[in-house]
Chain A
């Protein structure tokens, strides 16, 4: 039997507004517990919500970025349930009239193809606090539960896709695209490790060719690209196994356990029942007029798709490089600054995607944590281009810049004496010395055919580079060798 996976994602994006969605408390991550929760966040008796305009603007910007209809009069609803980290006993969210209507998103896949994923809607809502548990929780245990309400009231947009994705890879590509759009827009820091972007995956399987959807499960709270990919893979396989064994899929909420790499049902207590949604009487409908929409539209930054196309066209980058370099706005900006400083976009792209990203990856650093600035890298590339240094020496200079051993490439080259030797007299002496020291090889070379000679030339070049500590100008060395060996 051939199975098809059907995936829809609900992505929660924390908006990087200064204050909370309905109160003036700060949204900064990582403060001491309950120090960023004011009377409204604590749901003290008598407190009332006041909507944060920036949160509304952020949601509209997202809507515009995915070509969605913006609701002119969206409504906040109360979603009622009891949980200790939900101070009011309801979450203020949007149900019937969300601020962002249907939209579309293009995702890029590893085979170079792209695909359109429809967005059903996106709505504004408040985040809950966090429950922290310690110790044992059975009846006679001595466990303790703590509530930290710093996060309570942090603005979120929940972006709900249509079930348009067919593989874990597509789901990850979709999520990466959302990540890139919200960070480009500057409406979220997109930091998944701090929960700024979280995702619930609705997964079902069906026989290939079937038009009806299978019963889905919802896997909750996936907070890294890797976990999402793995969770969808294992959940898909689980469902296929159940169905192939003649079983049925239960519609339920599941949790992904990353240590065991499996999904398992949440306890029924934690499951949703009747949320008794109704319009929040403390908040007026959010009126959005054309003027505001146009103003926000006109101030949208260049978004990943158009940037990618521009990078391909204007800089002559490959699709692959353009994809990598536009994944985040900070990378794209860094690339453009480097390219300008280096006066060579392709070299800049190569250095960023291989040397810089490789190093960042190795050190486990995020892109914006790079110790080498775009100006420094651009300056370094300039010195390669004008033959001051070779590509090989450039790696040493890069290493020095990475370690903060000089303000720019020139300073490092100067301090370490890495300047390429292009003086023909000096080089000629080096060549002569190497040839004199290796008479056997010279003899072999001279009796060899062209094909072999090419290989052997490398030996002499290597020896000369070694003698010059890599500073000999390779082009000139080749030329001199050819002259002297009569090649």
Chain B
């Protein structure tokens, strides 16, 4: 059952081949067996999931239900879940039991889906390897000496190892797409504003976006359908119609123009990944699409731009963790300054502290113009690059990540090298456009991803292109051998 797609699980439930309870028990058993080796989950919700599954079975037997009712999945531990510890991978929130549900959590629950637990992640979603988590690193099911990518590394490992059929993730600079690439998944970052951020613990508010991580484009479409939509509790969510993402999956790609940015195949990309990516792109030509060389001339500025804006926003988003109302508080503070200093010294890990410092600096008087304001101008240029490119192409495609999964510990002490992991994904967040990563083959027996980028709110277009690719290839069907 754990190798089936969401679509297949939904069919199985509909045809009563198995019950939700059986399905849920199966995944809980797999979590019990394999999570110790992978560390994909921070919290497993055994009783709650089983109670939910039984209720879903009852509901299903008594009438019309959402197709995904009774289908288990996992939530990244960044989504506030009522009555459940919501840690964001940090010691700071290790004792935080959320008293309310994130909108995404509400929506999944309303569809009848069963939350198996909360998955591991880089602390406050800051990292590309899932090594900054307070709960320890996550291992890649394809090679347990390697990282799963980050920050949604727990979700990626859980789905790749069959400890959940799908999971939610969040993506601020690549945190859904890069781990999806490194773990052979289909992961989608929607357009900024497509999915509510309410209840999703903020890293960088103008970049954060939640999305699905699944095995197939079909599954990603099913899950995005549940997650997407306007939310009056999030002023940045956008009130526009959510299309039926499954309806357009089978559209023909004949004549579609796929732009291939030269900047995505330049210095920094491994030769093996480059040639594998080009091979994947050629599949599209076979389907009648046209590949077109394009340029995103400001791509080289995305990392510096991102590492001003994201830390700047993070530095103030994380000010609320002060030990006063909830979360970690240092013992016996001498005075207010001591309470703040030690609480934050003890509660945050190094990478979080590094970004708070960088962000505080970038916003400080005297440096604001040189850093934050300039970064905002560059962000506009990057957005314009995409707007310009989409005048002549329907989709932009390239590698998701410059290399396949790397070894645990390999880059963790070298933040600048680690930041390059997101060199192809970050521009997308700065521009706000939707993008996904699909399995595109193996390099050194490890999966790599192909990134498809769409116009604003054109999630349906990239899901369509991803599904068509998956009809022609079977990379996405390959399962981490040790966990099959």
Contact = CB atoms under 8 A, between A and B. Distances in A.
Interface of A: 39, 42-51, 78, 80, 82, 84, 87-90, 139, 147, 269, 274, 276-278, 281-284
A47 B86 CA distance: 13
Interface in B2-38: none
B100 interface: yes
B206 A44 contact: no
A45 B88 contact: yes
A282 B440 CA distance: 36
A89 B233 contact: no
A47 B199 contact: yes
B325 A46 contact: no
B325 A45 contact: no
Interface stretch (B67-75, B128-136, B364-372, B445-453): B364-372
A281 B316 CA distance: 11
Contacts of A284: 235-236
Contact of A50 (B232, B322, B325): B232
A87 B364 contact: no
Contacts of B322: 82, 84, 89
20 contacts: A42-B325, A44-B326, A45-B93, A45-B202, A45-B320, A46-B79, A46-B199, A46-B201, A47-B199, A84-B336, A87-B320, A88-B320, A90-B316, A147-B324, A276-B316, A276-B360, A276-B365, A281-B313, A282-B235, A284-B236
Given A274-B365, A278-B363, A281-B205, 16 more contacts: A44-B98, A45-B86, A46-B80, A46-B197, A46-B200, A48-B235, A48-B236, A50-B234, A51-B235, A78-B316, A80-B319, A89-B322, A269-B337, A276-B315, A276-B316, A276-B368
B373 to A, nearest CB: 9
Nearest to B124: A45
A89 B317 CA distance: 8
Interface residues of B, number: 46
Closest 7 pairs between A and B when the two form their complex, measured CB to CB: A89-B319, A281-B205, A281-B206, A276-B363, A46-B199, A43-B320, A45-B201
Nearest to A88: B320
Nearest to B336: A84
B41 interface: no
A61 B319 CA distance: 34
A145 B161 CA distance: 50
Contacts of A90: 316, 319
Given A45-B80, A45-B320, A80 B363 contact: yes
A82 B232 contact: no
> What is the interface of chain A mostly: helix, strand, loop, or mixed?
loop
Max count, chain B CB within 10 A of own CB: residue among A46, A48, A78 = A46
Contacts of A276: 315-316, 360, 363-365, 368
A269 B338 CA distance: 13
A87 B325 contact: yes
B390 interface: no
Contacts of B200: 46
Contacts of A43: 320, 325
B102 A84 contact: no
A282 B205 contact: yes
B196 to A, nearest CB: 9
Interface string B445-477: 000000000000000000000000000000000
B334 interface: yes
Contacts of B99: 39, 44
B406 interface: no
A229 to B, nearest CB: 34
Given A42-B325, A84-B336, A50 B235 contact: yes
A82 to B, nearest CB: 6
A274 B364 contact: yes
Nearest to B208: A281
Interface in B279-320: 312-313, 315-316, 318-320
A108 to B, nearest CB: 41
B380 to A, nearest CB: 14
Interface string B335-360: 11100100000000000000000001
Nearest to B334: A139
